Structure formats: C-alpha cells, structure tokens
C-alpha cells in the first residue's frame, strides 16, 4: 500500500493542501424500506443510492486523507445526522481534530427519517496544526437556506464561502461533482454538474485503491 500511496502523491505532484473539502459517499441503511408509505412516496434506498457509487463506513474512515493535508490544514466534511458518529471517527483517523459545525444547509423540503422529518444537512469543520492562522475572513455565515436540486449536489455558495474564508491557498475537493477554478478535484463524477475549469486529479476508478491504507 505504501507504493500506491506514493503513486497517488505523484499524481498530485506531491502537493499538500491547506483546505480539504469533502462530501463522502455515505451508504445508508435499509431500514427505511420497511415503511410502505415512504417507499411509495420516495422509493427505496436502493433506488435512491444507485445514482452514484457509495462506500462503507470502514472504507471512508480508512481513506488516506492525511497524505494530502499540509501541516496546517482545515477540513470540511459533509455529513448527515445518521453518520455523525462515523464522520467524527473519520476526522480523527485522518489526523484532524473536530472543532465545530461550519455550515448548516436547510434544503427547504424534508424527507422522512427514522424519528423526524429531515431537511437540514451539516458540514463539520476540523483542523490540523495552527490552521486558524490561515483564516482571512471572519464574516462568513454558517447557515444557508436554498432549495435542493440534483441528488447530493451541494450549493456552490458553500465553496465560495470557503474561498473567501481562506483565500488563495492550495485547496482540494474530495468526492467532487463539479470542477471549480482554484480547486484540485477528486471523484468519479467531476463533470456531473460542470461549471468551471478545475484541475482534475483522477476520475477513472472509484474509489481508487491507492487512497486506502492496509485494511487487511
């Protein structure tokens, strides 16, 4: 696995990033399928999840995100409340320390969860080193109310807020579904909702084995 990690770093030209923005391909449980009323209205989890490949909790936790992070780095990770505990575990395993909820997105329309109707998604903020010294703007708001559009696509406004917060530093978006100026992007759907020209690291396999540590 060490050889594969080195190959991946070579693909990235040995670059380290001060900002990493990730929207992991969380895999949801199938409990929702037992609710006939939900199946009839929204479809099954299988039908919802086949729109893009997903990863197990273990696969996400064991991604070698640390290989990309500068000594001083800020990490943004999208998660649902159902995956909150796993997201924290991933953050710790990637070499970061959880700090706060950076953003809350109100999608303005909900879906039925196990306990309540869900309409918000959160983005966690974690840091490595003295990342707070990278902050350029303290004025960005954490809350955004915007209609959900394509499946799993996050509003572009959040990326813009991160850009204003940290300026022109090396930035990597993982699990990207669009390319964006000033960002290196990783994912198997980087052209899904194409907007601007960004530098694509790789897009041939998902997830590439070189991202994984020894999971044997």
Task: Tell me the C-alpha distance between 175 and 11, whole Å.
Answer: 17
pLDDT in tens, 90-106: 999 999 999 999 999 99
Residue 125 forms part of a structural domain: yes
Residue 216 forms part of a structural domain: no
| pLDDT score recorded for residue 51 | 53
Residue 46 forms part of a structural domain: yes
55-68 core/surface letters (b: 16 or more CB in 10 A; e: else)? bebebbbbbbbebb
pLDDT in tens, 45-69: 444 444 557 788 998 999 989 989 9
Share of the chain above pLDDT 70, in %: 67
Statement: residue 163 has pLDDT above 80: yes
Beta bridge partners of 98: 126
| pLDDT score recorded for residue 60 | 92
| pLDDT score recorded for residue 205 | 37
Residue 64 forms part of a structural domain: yes
CB-CB neighbours of 41 under 10 Å: 10
Statement: residue 158 has pLDDT above 90: yes
Higher-confidence residue of 112 and 74: namely: 74
Query: 198 lies in which domain range?
Result: 2-211
Average pLDDT, the chain: 77
CATH classification of the domain holding 207: 3.40.50
| pLDDT score recorded for residue 190 | 57
Of residues 90, 93, 96, the one with CA closest to residue 70: 96
Q: Within the chain, how many helices (H) and strands (E) appear?
A: 6, 8
Residue 183 forms part of a structural domain: yes
How many structural domains is the chain composed of? 1
Classify 171 as helix, strand or coil. Answer: strand
Instruction: For the chain, give percent helix, strand, coil, nearest 5.
Output: 30, 30, 40
Residue 18 forms part of a structural domain: yes
> Of the segments 35-39, 49-53, 79-83, which one has the largest average pLDDT value?
79-83
Residue 65 forms part of a structural domain: yes
Overall residue count recorded for the chain in this entry: 216
């Amino acid at each position: 696995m060490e050889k594969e990690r080195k190959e991946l770093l070579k693909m990235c030209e040995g670059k380290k990033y001060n900002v990493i923005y990730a929207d992991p391909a969380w895999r949801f449980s199938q409990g929702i399928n037992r609710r006939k009323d939900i199946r009839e209205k929204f479809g099954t989890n299988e039908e919802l999840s086949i729109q893009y490949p997903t990863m197990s909790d273990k696969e996400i936790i064991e991604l070698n995100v640390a290989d990309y992070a500068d000594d001083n780095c800020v990490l943004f990770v999208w998660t649902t409340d159902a995956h909150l505990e796993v997201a924290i575990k991933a953050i710790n395993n990637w070499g970061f320390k959880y700090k706060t909820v950076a953003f809350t997105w109100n999608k303005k329309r909900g879906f039925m969860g196990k306990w309540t109707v869900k309409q918000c998604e959160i983005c966690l903020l974690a840091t490595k080193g003295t990342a707070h010294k990278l902050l350029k703007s303290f004025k960005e708001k954490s809350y955004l109310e915007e209609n959900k559009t394509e499946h799993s696509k996050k509003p572009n406004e959040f990326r813009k807020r991160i850009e204003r917060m940290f300026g022109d530093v090396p930035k990597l978006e993982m699990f990207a579904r669009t390319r964006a100026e000033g960002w290196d992007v990783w994912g198997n759907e980087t052209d899904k909702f194409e907007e601007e020209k960004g530098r694509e690291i790789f897009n041939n396999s998902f997830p590439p084995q070189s991202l994984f540590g020894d999971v044997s």
